[in-house]
Structure 1
Amino acid sequence: MLNRAGKLLSMALVLLLSACGKQEETVKVASPPSVSVITAEQISMEVREETIGSLEGMMDPTVAAEVSGRVLKVLVRQGQHVKKGQEIALLNPVDYQLQRREALSEVARLEALLENQQRSVERNARLVERNFISQIVLDDVKTQEIALRRQLEGAKSRLASIEHNQSKTRLLSPVDGTVESRLVAEGDYVKVGDPLFQIISNQRLRAHLPFPESIASSIRPGLEVRLNTPTSSVEIVSRIRELKPAIGAGNRAIDVLADVEDQPGWHTGASVSGVVVLGVRENVVVVPEQSVVLRPAGEVVYAISQDQAQAHQRVVRTGLRQDGMVEIIDGIQAGEQIVLDGAAFLTDGARISVQKEMSVQADS
């Protein structure tokens, strides 16, 4: 029995030692983590300021009644596109037609009186030449002629005013645009100044871009600004038209204005993103954002050893960030290889296996 127990114990020890050996062998053959690497390069970077603002329509007129009258017909509906000069509503013109007839009659009466008075002046002038009447009589009829001529001018002016008012019974669209709201219906009686339609035109828009007061000294009229809006895939390049003189009390921002003209798909009230280029910095060392990780020592990148088998931690000082790239002010030089994918899982001096080499241009 003792002999048998000893054999079992020996077999158990052999199995245990064999398992430990396999585990040690497994640990020894574990491969280092696979990473991709990239070379820090020098490029030119724009010094930008970005913001989000809104678009304001510069041609959004409210069409109001210029004369009083009852609405005979409304010719457009809400949401309809209209052209400049297109009829959008008709008011009852009967009152002005009657006034025009009356004014025409008055003009005709005065023209007849003036024609008769001119003949009278001619007759009296011949009589004065023959000394049949005095000069005073001639002067009197000439004065009457002048008075009739002035009355005729006044009557013609009144006729022109009536005809002008009659033309205002045809309401026309002042711009190309879309009917935003219709505030009148057929049969309504409107007075002078009553609003009837709101027309929105996107032919000329103004972008309001709030920028922080800290860069007020760097932004000036004439600088180039790149604009984008969610309602259009087209980026346009405009220029800063002006800066509002007051800084916003609520947000401490300066309001920068830029114009947008004749851009399909751009709409009043939509949001707009603006990018102002304040300058260009040459020979900037850049690396992709994912290669910069945060550690207790600060922001670091992992530089690759010459044999590409080990990663060494480098504390860096960063600057501009744009388009997925980070400016490295200090800590790494152009031409050095650093870890790209996998940097977040490394420590200083970690063994690595390089699987792929990339370039800044391809990555960006």
Structure 2
Amino acid sequence: MNALPLLLMAALLLSGCGDEKSNESSGEQQVVHPRTVKITTAVSSARDLEIRESALGRIIDPVATTIGAEVPGRVISVQVQAGEAVARGQLLAVLDDSDTKAAVATTEAEVRRLQSEQQAQQNLVARYRSMIDKHYISPTLLEQAEAQLDVLQQREQAAQATLIQARNNLQRTRITAPVAGHIEQRMVAAGDYIGLGKPLFKVAAAQRLTVSIPLPETRAAHIQKGQTVRLRLPSGGQIVTATITDLTPMVGSSNAFEVRVDLEDNPGQWRPGGSVSAEIVTATHSGAVVVPEECIVLRPSGTVVYRIEDGKAQAVSVITGVHLQGFVEVSSGLDAGVVVAADGAGYLSDGAVVAVHNSEGVQP
């Protein structure tokens, strides 16, 4: 009874060996199908490429006016802050005017006294002239009276000049804007005592502006006067197209230089001291062949793109140029109008079978 299971197992093994030999003798072979790679495609195109240098610049005023103190005194109040727009003649600050008011009052009193003395002397001269005709007085006495009148007139003229100066100084205790524009810098605060000539404010004119763009010295060979520059505020808005006006070394830096762009008119809300994004067009490649950057594949043998034709990929060696906004310039090895692999190109090899799955509306 125990030998029966062993006999059944032996029979099954012999049956399996017989089937295997039967298959081998029949000559059947398993067919291996090539792997299909799913990809998307793009078409190489020709376009004009602008080579640009991007940088951050600063808006300055080439004719900014520095307002200094014309009289010494203590600052009573400051009426504006940095960045505020001001009109011509607008009050910016007020100085203590007690001393200048006292000077005006003293000089006015001196002028009145001299005028009174002068009037009395004129009356005396007139009386002497009537008396000289009657020989009541000597000519010498008349000459002395006329000389004294001349002295009083000269003193009054000097006092009048001093009064004008005192009144001007009184007006100068009220600091006003000499031009319309923006307060670029405020250098004084209420309570400060300022001496004659001390800078108080810097006012930038409202119209003509200059953009200063610092760049490393390594870029100097590519930057020239007259090149196109596109400027825009970091917050967005209008793009202003201008040209490079001047190139100068930066003071205090041995490895940088400054690009200057003059703007004759203020584009709008542009203020001195603000930042601006700049793109300098250093060159233009006309009719350059470009492909999306995902089409470029790096292989041990070099850089390739895969040309797609009749459902197969063909490796094409290329030389690339500049990379710009998701596209790569192909300097050599590829013409415009060629269908190439895009997404999935990195999984291809020369001769691979492909299945193109472009998005709706995308032409291979």
Give the letter aligned to residue 6 of structure 1: A
Residues 245 and 81 (structure 1 numbering): CA distance in 2 closer, same or farther, change over 3 Å? Answer: closer
After superposing the two structures, state which structure 1 stretch, 202-211 or 103-112, moved more: 202-211
**Contact map agreement 1:242 1:256 (CA 8 A) in 2:** yes
Q: Distance in 2 between matches of 1:208 and 1:104?
A: 53
1:255 and 2:248 equivalent?
no
Deviation at 1:47, TM superposition (A): 3.8
Q: Distance in 1 between matches of 2:18 and 2:183?
A: 92
1:83 and 2:86 equivalent?
yes
Residues 73 and 286 (structure 1 numbering): CA distance in 2 closer, same or farther, change over 3 Å? Answer: closer
Give the letter aligned to residue 347 of structure 2: F
The C-alpha deviation readout for 1:306-354, integer Å capped at 9, x for no partner, is x2x1111111122233232222221011222111222222222222112
Tell me which of 64, 71, 75 is aligned to 1:67: 71
Matches within 5 A, 1:202-281: 206-211=210-215, 213=217, 216=220, 219-244=223-248, 249-251=253-255, 253-259=256-262, 262-263=266-267, 266=270, 271-281=275-285
Residues 182 and 280 (structure 1 numbering): CA distance in 2 closer, same or farther, change over 3 Å? Answer: closer
SS at match of 1:255: strand
Taking structure 1 as the reference length, the TM-score comes to 0.73
Matches within 5 A, 1:13-52: 28=33, 32-52=36-56
Taking structure 2 as the reference length, the TM-score comes to 0.73
User: Which residue of 2 is the match for residue 286 of structure 1?
Assistant: 290
Q: Distance in 1 between matches of 2:11 and 2:111?
A: 144
Residues 223 and 277 (structure 1 numbering): CA distance in 2 closer, same or farther, change over 3 Å? Answer: same
In the alignment of these two chains, the number of paired residues is: 349
Q: Give aligned-pair identity as a percent.
A: 32
Give the letter aligned to residue 33 of structure 1: V
Q: Distance in 1 between matches of 2:168 and 2:19?
A: 117
**Contact map agreement 2:188 2:201 (CA 8 A) in 1:** yes
Q: Distance in 2 between matches of 1:225 and 1:269?
A: 19
Deviation at 1:359, TM superposition (A): 10
Tell me which of 106, 110, 113 is aligned to 1:106: 110
**Contact map agreement 2:93 2:174 (CA 8 A) in 1:** yes
Give the letter aligned to residue 329 of structure 1: S
Which runs of 5 or more residues in structure 2 are unaligned?
1-5, 24-29
Q: Distance in 2 between matches of 1:347 and 1:86?
A: 75
Residues 328 and 179 (structure 1 numbering): CA distance in 2 closer, same or farther, change over 3 Å? Answer: closer
SS at match of 1:100: helix
**Contact map agreement 1:202 1:268 (CA 8 A) in 2:** no
Tell me which of 279, 300, 303 is aligned to 2:304: 300
CA RMSD of aligned residues (A): 4.5
SS at match of 1:356: coil
Give the letter aligned to residue 316 of structure 1: V
Q: Distance in 2 between matches of 1:123 and 1:219?
A: 88
Deviation at 1:287, TM superposition (A): 1.6
Which runs of 5 or more residues in structure 1 are unaligned?
19-23
User: Which residue of 2 is the match for residue 93 of structure 1?
Assistant: 97
Tell me which of 153, 156, 170 is aligned to 2:157: 153
User: Which residue of 1 is the match for residue 345 of structure 2?
Assistant: 343
Give the letter aligned to residue 92 of structure 1: D
**Contact map agreement 1:36 1:340 (CA 8 A) in 2:** yes
Matches within 5 A, 1:118-133: none
SS at match of 1:332: coil
Give the letter aligned to residue 11 of structure 2: G
